[in-house]
Structure 1
């Protein structure tokens, strides 16, 4: 799997910062200067064919999925893929609910000069998260609660009331679903939150960094987690890892199943390809994956309040990472929906050939959404028609849900 880099979050030259620890008073430690470099990644279903996955969906042994076949106007080729839910093209009045399970993960990073640091999404953090813990504000967010959405957000068309990704999906296929009124939805429900899963990260596989370790004014602490220890399936193409151990134990205990969408929720913890560096070579903010038979889909997302990844015009603040991953899970659950190659935009400096609806606009935020007294950062998402070509079947003939893209992806990327 090729890693892609979030080019919207410009990585500045590394500077020298001397940590305050007495043990290192004489040692200059090289630290990257914020905004730190972040990216999103994904896994592809292995060992199970798409046909087998779809048979499981038809038998209700995994999440519901529907298939499509489309001829692209970008290259005149025909492509087939699958998405979560029910088809908007046939019987477009159908509403689907998918149970979601929030799995908060508390990491204790033993490797830091000032002692162990704890990153707990269930803990209060009034300085950096004044509206509640990461779990609380996620539970209260537009990703899991209905909001009345207009797309594009300024001067667009009202697409209805629902969760953000549900309303994005309605807007995505507006030409088909608008004729059915408000009857087509793909909703995350019911929502279950498991007790926090406590993980102590071995030395060498995770490290805590204080905001004061970096140049500038930032909030709290950042955890750098070794991705190859956490989930080598994603980061090195290997097997095993702490994520797989948790998935196995929670499945055995009956806490999660392939018919549900489990989401591992981190708080200010990001993942490196290997090691525990503070994103000097880039950090993964989240990913989605599918595996096994019946197919188990799952997502992983950081809830970021550090501000270490933010810069004018782009952000990873609070719910933006989660909105990115939930949308990509819904529109490319197996990680391999083929499209004419696109690239040289968003987090992709090269070419990419699958339908990941967040990657081309990584870091681009729609106008903040106020809900339950908090302003949420939601990432702008790319419509189906941008990948396969004009004319757009999305709301108002657009190509992304806040109209940043005013035309399709153009000639196939080379």
Structure 2
């Protein structure tokens, strides 16, 4: 009670997750509460982010769309950007919001955050329900995946690609629960949001085909990884190696790569120890295919960086599996769940602290907001 008086927002979020968890469909209800809590937190942080980097041109185009017809906008140069007619999803949403809100930038930041984190959260919820019947474990796995999966600081930077990556995650979860038609629709949304999603979408379809058996076949993994590595090399050759010379949007840190290797290793060990249940097989096939393409484009930093963001989606889904399998039968579960969630927040805090972007409100200021 005293904590609720001191930190009302944090207490409200915990209470919502707890109360909806009492619903007869506890895991679903608690999952929806967790998704809403994290999305609201991220939306609040993004609303106060300084307009800089790629977010600046997104905002500039958004403001122009208040008066421009979408048909006159797509496919025509606007500054140094030419909006592709083959990527209409985001631009259509931005056009509607710009007219409805008189180009309020806060509305755009909330919409972008929602389009990224709700599909990702739903994908995590779908997997968590396959992993455990425990409401607390399901909610924790969703929270950790959303905090540590897709890079939050890029959610209002590489907006379209982050949206595409989120729908790729949703498609993977839909294929796992055997809803391929809806999964195909999610892949289509991803591709029509950012055309680079065509590569991971193809990888998901191939992996879904391979994952239909009861076991993980090493030869299929090797063959698909080599095939996509060659595809990556061919991509550089066709697109023109020289076109990437001197271009860079940054680089993936050694820490991030090392952490992802650790997550993949733990995921594979847990999956093997549990007999490769269906929710692990598709991810097990997707990972080497995604990595294979990365190896193929590794000669150029820009395409490597851009494609690495899709691998972050797999990181999020693997974290759902790792947290779910690790905590469902552990002793002192409350302590273990609290530790996992706290580590997730610490990881996110480090991401924000080390990013070049400025936020009006810090992470812990937002979480531990107090009127006193």
Please identify which structure carries the higher helix content.
2
Please identify which structure carries the higher strand content.
1
The TM-score normalised by the length of structure 2 is 0.25
The TM-score normalised by the length of structure 1 is 0.23
